[in-house]
Each structure stands twice: as C-alpha cells, then as structure tokens.
Amino acid sequence: MGIAGIFGFGKKAPFKVPAEVATLRTRIAAEERENYPSLARFEELQQDADAIYTNLDAVIAGKEYTEEAARIREDLEKRMAALGAKIESNQRAAKSDDSGDYVPSNVDYLERKSTRNGAKTVFTEFLEAHELLMRTGTEGRAGRGEQIHAATARIMRALSELHDKFFSAHGNDREIREMRDLAIKKIAELNSLLARAMASTQDYGVRASLAADVQRLSAMAAKISSI
C-alpha cells in the first residue's frame, strides 16, 4: 500500500485526518498543560512528529490532498514550536534566578515537591517548638528550667530529623537550603535567650541545665552549618 493509502488520502476516499496526527496532537496538548513540560517527552514527540512530517511531505509531493496535508504539517509545527518555547522559557527562568526550580522530568518534579512538603512539615514542628521556648524563656515562672529543657529536646528532635532526612540529603534544593539557613538563625536566637536566662538565675541546677541546652543547640548549629 502506498503512502496515500496508509495516511487515508486515497483518491476516492474522503479526506480524513490521520490517526497518528490526532494522537500526536493529544499528546502535545497534555504536555502543554504541565507547568514544567518534560524535555525528554518533548524529544520523543519531536521524533514522532518528524516521522509524520516525512509522510505528509510525500503526500504533498504527490499532489493528492496537498493543501490539507500542508495545513496539518503547519499545525503540528506550530504546536511543537509553542511547546518547545515553553520549555526554553522555563529553562531560562531557572538559570537566571538560580532557583533550581526547573526539572525536565515530571517524576523528578513530583519527587522534589514531596521532599519539600516533608521538610516543611518537620520545619513547622521546629518553629512551633522554637516559639514555645522563646515564650517560656521570657516568662520567668516557676519550673521554667524544666520547661525550657523539654522545649529544647523537642527542638533537637526536629532539627535532627531535618538534618538527617533533608538538609544533608537535599541541601542543593533552594527551599530546603532556605529552611536550613533560617534554622541556623533561629538557633542563634535561642542561644541568646538561654544565655540571658542563665544570667538571671541563681539556681545552679537550672544554670547547668541551660548550659547543657546551649551546648547541644550550638553543636547542632555547627553540624547543620557544615553541610
């Protein structure tokens, strides 16, 4: 069977858009709906489009349904050009702001999103414990030393999880790096607060407990900063 027969451009048959073209259009449209279209899939689409262009060019050269085949080719070229432009725009934006937000693979994008969400959950726990310690450390009520120690332990648990699961494993990610930098600043705030609390108490037991907390937090800050 000749090219015309394969593509449905038989002399007696009515003109019909080839199934391969309809399928390719659907795939292009699906990719265009993505915020970060896949470069790998775009390259696959381009290969399939090139094969279709070859067959369309043969139909056009054969003088059968020349205008229809030419319109199909032009339409596909425009769709592919628009998709390619979107990918290039994302790449330029990522490069210009050094955000690292562009990834060509949608699977990688979803994995990164999941990782960021996990980090945010633990970081929220850290911020809540930080707020509790800051509040406890400035209220001066009875039992403050024990409450500060408990809040510090909660902070250390959150920081340890952040370090092990996110900061050390995904330190190149922009959002996770920002969390790490903020955590270091928050630890400095806590150490200043604890230093003031130590200076304001004559209870040696409380002072020893606060000094131990300062040492633990300082060690964690150094550990996180070294990543």
Query: What's the confidence (pLDDT) of residue 113?
Result: 81
User: What string of DSSP letters covers 13-81?
Assistant: SPP---HHHHHHHHHHHHHHTSSS--HHHHHHHHHHHHHHHHHHHHHHHTTSSHHHHHHHHHHHHHHHH
Query: What's the confidence (pLDDT) of residue 201?
Result: 76
Which helix (H) or strand (E) segment holds residue 91: the answer is helix 66-97
The phi and psi torsions of 97 (rounded to 5 degrees) equal -100, 0
Query: What's the confidence (pLDDT) of residue 197?
Result: 79
CA–CA separation, 182 and 194 (whole Å): 18
CB 123 within 8 A of CB 177: no
The vertex-201 CA angle with 200 and 203, nearest 5°, equals: 170
Query: What's the confidence (pLDDT) of residue 157?
Result: 94
Query: What's the confidence (pLDDT) of residue 105?
Result: 60
* CA distances, 121 to each of 7, 107, 111, 129, 164 (Å): 54, 21, 16, 13, 14
Per-residue pLDDT of the chain (227 residues), as tens digits, is 455 555 554 454 656 778 899 999 999 998 888 777 778 788 899 999 999 999 889 888 887 788 888 999 999 999 999 999 988 887 776 555 445 555 556 556 677 788 898 999 999 999 998 888 888 777 655 456 678 888 889 999 999 999 999 999 988 888 899 999 999 999 998 888 888 878 877 778 778 888 888 888 999 999 998 87
Tokens of 213: 């907390």
Query: What's the confidence (pLDDT) of residue 136?
Result: 77
| Global confidence as pTM | 0.53
CA–CA separation, 158 and 132 (whole Å): 14
CB 25 within 8 A of CB 79: yes
